[in-house]
Amino acid sequence: MYVIYCLLLWTFVYSLPGLAVFPQLMTSPRTAFAIPIISVFVIYCIASATISLGILTTPLAVAIALTIGTVAALRMRKTIATATFSWSSQDVFIYIFHVILLFPYFIKLGTHAFERGDEIYSWNFWAIQHYFLEPIDFSHTGAPYPQLFPKLLAFCYHIVGDLELQLPVRAMLIVFSWSMLTAIAMAYRQRMAAHLGTYLALLLYVMAFVGLEQFFDDGYADPIMNGCLLVSVALFWQSQQKPSFHISPTMLALWSVLCGIAAAHAKQPGLLWILFSLPVLLWFGAPVNAKWRYRLLCIPSILGGLTWLVGEGSTFHHNKGVIGLSIADRDVIAQLAFSVNKYFIHQPCLFLLFLLAWLSCRKDKSLRRLVILFMIPSLFCWFLFGAYHLRLGQHLIAFAFFIVAASGYALPTKLTTWEGWQRFWSWLAIRQKQCFMATVGVSIVMGGLLFVQGTWLEKGKISLYAGGRQSLQRYFGQDADHIYANVYRNSEALLWVPSRYLYGLFYKHTQLTTPDYPRYEAYNQASLIDELQRKQPDYVFTVSQDVIDGPASKVLSEVVKECPMAFEQISFSKNRFSFVTYKINKTVLQQDPCLLNLAKDQNSNQIALKQDN
């Protein structure tokens, strides 16, 4: 059934919606990689409309998917009968090769639930809210984020029919990385024809040494934005190439705009592309015979970005948490110097890739425009506002990879005529088939090992259909089964949670309450005891300092240490964030003399302190 769920999602979410609208996408390997991205854009538009109307339900989602599938089948049948196809056996091999290459990441995505950081309290949390047609809660992030990814997840949950089926939904996120890499490979193939060995060398360099591969198995919005953005870039670049093929440059530019809008609605870095870079490129890069059509496309491009920027995302720039993590107390010059030192000096492989991109684009006008209008401004934004993590610059890594590949290694003559380079080039030309087969073999073996590790060694023969149980493993260790059976699946239980991680983990599975910090002048032991006596929770938690939201967890630890009678510890195993679960004895909570005296003493001390002041 797991494979069937994946095939359902691939068919009805990532393939047929795009083909229902633009069946000609499948006629060329230079455009087929965009099918998943266009499909996601279609699903996003449908999900947004049905969610805003409050009508998105599982029966409706299934009906929409079947209707789209029927339309796609009819249109594909007509296209197959009448259209010109330009596929070769090597094109098919490139597409299949990237499927196999990403197999280990598919396994890793599909054997882990949404269980890390932002996956818990933002992206999947918002997806659950969309699923239940609830208002979106941005309190955990402090600022709004684009909602393409959560709405896509919500629609996928409706298609598979259960929120617990996180694993197949998460596994299919690999299509974004697949589309991105295939788009880059096809750009390279246009330049270098049969000599794919050097593409493989560059691919392995970017994945292994620069570190792009570490983001392929993230359940975050960044890889989704990355895939949409690179496909948009690749399609626009295709529209600039001569001679053109059987798909018109205007249609390629239109698809580029749609993918760009998807990128902007997935994560904020896409806004620069859709609001500035792409409109400028469309305006000044239009072919003479299609100038007005290209310039008209600037309108949906800009409007596509503004719909989020001036609407739901109008306060996104107030995200003090992200800006604070990046800039801290540095001024602009100091911040740029810090970023250069962190990513160029201490990560020379990344600097070398960016240098190769700049050197490669100098002989190609269209690539040079892409670098000047997008890569350089984006690099500046990343260094200023996202320098705290390489993840926020992954789109620039992929973009630089695309520039080098699309140029066909158009490096300075001094480099390409170097004897060592020539030997390497010749060796790859002879051994490229063996290199590709070796990569395929390693990917298959790694995928098998990761499956065994993820399902047997780490988590002890867990079910691939219980995403909630999977997510608990990371935070409760060997107690995960007990927590899942007695807490997670108890929809009537009231949990008092001092961390957004816990809130996201148990959201919609139990009743939840959080510390009432605004209610109290100072949140201390008396405040905590008063709150627990008022709310009467069934379970409370303490967590490590790394994932707390305020002082409540620390205060609870102090209270439990002094007055343990009302708190029965039910989790004991060591875990990543030191989560400890206590079951509350509500009778003792109300009557325990220790708790009553502790609260009284705390209040007396506060009164005395105020009088002294």
What confidence score (pLDDT) does residue 610 get? Answer: 43
What confidence score (pLDDT) does residue 220 get? Answer: 94
Q: What are phi and psi of 197, to 5 degrees?
A: -60, -40
Q: How many CB atoms lie within 10 A of CB 6?
A: 19
Assess whether 67 and 157 both reside in one domain: yes
Q: What is the Cα–Cα distance from 291 to 288, expressed in whole angstroms?
A: 5
| Residue after which a domain boundary falls, among 419, 434, 456 | 419
In a domain, 243, yes or no: yes
Query: The tokens of 494 are what?
Result: 């009231």
Q: Residue 608: how many CA atoms within 13 Å on its side-chain side?
A: 6
What confidence score (pLDDT) does residue 263 get? Answer: 98
In a domain, 495, yes or no: yes
Structural domain span for residue 252: 2-419
Assess whether 404 and 513 both reside in one domain: no
Distance of CA 185 to the CA centre of its chain: 22
Tens digit of pLDDT for each residue in 127-160?
999 999 999 998 888 889 999 999 999 999 999 9
* Residues in a beta bridge with 511: 494
Assess whether 528 and 413 both reside in one domain: no
Assess whether 383 and 488 both reside in one domain: no
Please give the helix or strand (H or E) that residue 379 lies within, else none.
helix 376-385
Assess whether 179 and 304 both reside in one domain: yes
Assess whether 58 and 204 both reside in one domain: yes
Query: The tokens of 217 are what?
Result: 């198995």
What confidence score (pLDDT) does residue 412 get? Answer: 63
| Residue after which a domain boundary falls, among 419, 440, 456 | 419
Assess whether 492 and 372 both reside in one domain: no
**DSSP readout, 47-91?**
HHHHHHTT---HHHHHHHHHHHHHHHHHHHHHHHHHS-----HHH
In a domain, 427, yes or no: no
Structural domain tally of the chain? 2
Residues of the chain short of pLDDT 50, as ranges, are 607-613
In a domain, 450, yes or no: no
Tens digit of pLDDT for each residue in 34-76?
999 999 999 999 999 999 999 999 999 999 999 999 999 999 9
What confidence score (pLDDT) does residue 612 get? Answer: 41
Q: How many CB atoms lie within 10 A of CB 570?
A: 15
Place of tokens 């990046």: 326
In a domain, 357, yes or no: yes
In a domain, 531, yes or no: yes
Q: What is the DSSP letter of 150?
A: H
Place of tokens 């880059």: 184
Is 190:86 a contact under the CB 8 Å cutoff?
no
Helices assigned H by DSSP within 453-544: 467-476, 480-483, 500-506, 525-535
Distance of CA 485 to the CA centre of its chain: 30
Q: What is the Cα–Cα distance from 107 to 584, expressed in whole angstroms?
A: 40
In a domain, 18, yes or no: yes
Tens digit of pLDDT for each residue in 442-460?
888 888 888 777 666 555 5
Q: How many residues does the chain have?
A: 613
In a domain, 211, yes or no: yes
| Residue after which a domain boundary falls, among 362, 393, 419 | 419
Assess whether 247 and 395 both reside in one domain: yes
Q: What are phi and psi of 581, to 5 degrees?
A: -110, 135
Domain CATH for 546: 3.40.190
Is 206:226 a contact under the CB 8 Å cutoff?
no
* Angle, CA 399 vertex, CA 395 and CA 404 arms, to 5°: 150
Assess whether 386 and 481 both reside in one domain: no
What confidence score (pLDDT) does residue 53 get? Answer: 96
* Residues in a beta bridge with 541: 581
Assess whether 174 and 76 both reside in one domain: yes
Q: What is the Cα–Cα distance from 125 to 273, expressed in whole angstroms?
A: 27
Assess whether 200 and 335 both reside in one domain: yes
Assess whether 150 and 258 both reside in one domain: yes
Identify each DSSP E strand in 161-215 by its residue range.
Answer: none
